[in-house]
Every structure is written in C-alpha cells, then in structure tokens.
Amino acid sequence: MSVAAVQRCLDLIELLAAEGEGMELIAIADRVGIPASAAHRILATLMERGFVRQDPGSQNYALSVRLAQLAFGYLDSAGLPDAATVVLAALARQTGDYCRLAVVEGDDLVWVARAQGATSGLRYDPEMGRSIALHATATGKAWLSTLPENDALRIVFARGFETQPRMGPNVVKGVDELRADLKKTRRRGYALAVEEGEIGTCAVAVPFRAGIEADAAVAGTLSVAGPVGRMRPDRYPEIAEALKTAAAEMQRIWCVRKRQMAPSTPPAARQRSRGSSRVVA
C-alpha cells in the first residue's frame, strides 16, 4: 500500500471519528477528496477488519467500537488508566470539578483519562475525543510554556490560530497575545483559560514531567475545568496548588511506570558495556 493510500485511509477514519453520526458514501468521498470508488474500497476493507460498520437501513457508514477497544487496550498495557485514575479521582474529589490527564505525543497533546468531581448543579462534561487547541486551552498553554519559545510558536503556527464557533470570546488570536499569555503562565506557575476554548468555561492546568529531575521531559498535563460561575478567580490559587500536588504524585507514578516498562539488560551485556571480555552466562 502506498503512503498516499495510507493517508487517505487515515483521513477517512479521522472524518468518521469527528462526525460521530453515520455518513453517506458520496459525502465521505467529497470530504476526503477522493473518488467514490476509492472511498468504497477503503470502507470495504475497514468493514472487513471490523473498524467500520454500515447501517442496514440508511446505508450510512460509521466507526465501530473497534478503534476504542484498541485504544483502551494500549492504555491498559501501558499502565495509564490505573495510574491516572488514582490521581484524577483524588483531584476531582478535592476540587469538585472536571479533571483530565493529557499526554505528550510528538508535537501534540492527547486526552487519555478523566474524572468528574461535580456532584450537583452545572456539570462540565466535554467529549474526550475532541482535539486539543493548544493556543486556546489551559492544557495546551501549560505544555507550551515549558518549551523554548521558538518551538512553542512553531507548533502553534503549524496548526494556525484557528477560531471555531464553539470557542469563547477571549481566545488568543495572534503571536503577540500568545507570547504574553505564555509569559504570564511561566510567572504564575499555572496556565489559565477563561472562555477561550469554549464559551462559559474556565480551566486551570499544570504540566508534569516524566521524572523527578528538573530537566526531565514533560510527559503531560493535568487540568481542572468547569463553568465560569463555579471556577471563580478567587479559587485559581487553590486549584493550582491541588494540581501541583497531583502533578508531583503523577511524576512519581510515571517514574515507576518507566522502570517497569524499561527492558532489562542481560548480565552479559552489562559486563561488555564495562569493557570486560568476560561473558557471564
């Protein structure tokens, strides 16, 4: 299979994931930008492998739960759910709002776990499958603030300062605003987004590292989000302190996870690495 064919297949999967509801063949082909015959071949292969289903009545195509099963299987094997659940559940109980964990994947962040702390009144409960607008979310800015400025700007420029209907009135719209916001984030010690990613919501976030060393790479972020009426400015410092405590705990868990996943070095290899010609059986 050519690289172009793989890209078309992934574009199709991402489209179906974003739409949620089933789509007609012609609509899929039009959105992906390929002939209907090519879209049909890709869909037939995905159906055969169990990744796509077709509604018998409407004949519309939609993703099956196969991708979700694979994703949760990967997270489970990596030890993420257990580690995240312990930290997030405690954080949600303490703050009484919606808590999430995102991990760094290349030049992006991906949501992997959540915990709802709101037990009454308004509840903020967003979709976990939604992509993270780095410039418009506390989560994104918490991570960007840890990067050299040129790297942070490069990553955001590659995506663009997109503004979508669901975004709030305070969303960052350009490089000068982003620079100033990241500077505030570093000085404050936590990232803040008030009606930026979404109207009527507020979020506070901090990064956590893959180790306890000061120069360890950032592994991800922890965030608390909720309605602006409950996430008041007087609560920001309190929430930030709770996040920092949770981030320190997550760093310790991440260290253990790294040691568990690291391949063990055979004794013979260790002897050779020290320059010894003696091979230990």
Q: For residue 249, what are the contacts with CB-CB under 8 A and spacing of at least 6?
A: 87
Beta strand segments in 67-133, E: 98-105, 108-116
Q: Are residues 16 and 123 in the same domain?
A: no
Within a domain: residue 177? yes
What is the domain-level CATH number for residue 252?
3.30.450.40
- The answer to whether 115 and 90 have CB atoms below 8 angstroms apart is no
pLDDT at 254: 75
User: Do 121 and 237 share a domain, yes or no?
Assistant: yes
Q: Which two three-digit tokens encode residue 140?
A: 């994104």
In the chain, % of residues over pLDDT 90: 54
For the segment 160-184, the average pLDDT, to the nearest whole number, is: 86
Asked whether the predicted pLDDT for residue 168 surpasses 70, the reply is: yes
CATH of the domain at 44: 1.10.10.10
- Same domain as 241, residue 159: yes
pLDDT per position as a tens digit, 73-111: 665 555 555 667 788 899 999 999 999 999 998 899 988
Is the model's pLDDT at 219 over the cut of 60? yes
Instruction: Indicate the range of 3-17, 156-170, 258-272 predicted with least confidence.
Output: 258-272
Q: Please tell me whether residues 205 and 242 are part of one structural domain.
A: yes
In a domain, 251, yes or no: yes
Identify whether 267 is part of a domain: no
Number of domains the chain is built from: 2
Number of residues that make up the chain: 281
> What is the reported pTM?
0.68
Q: Model confidence at 71, in pLDDT bands (50, 70, 90)?
A: low
The parent domain of residue 39 ranges over 3-64
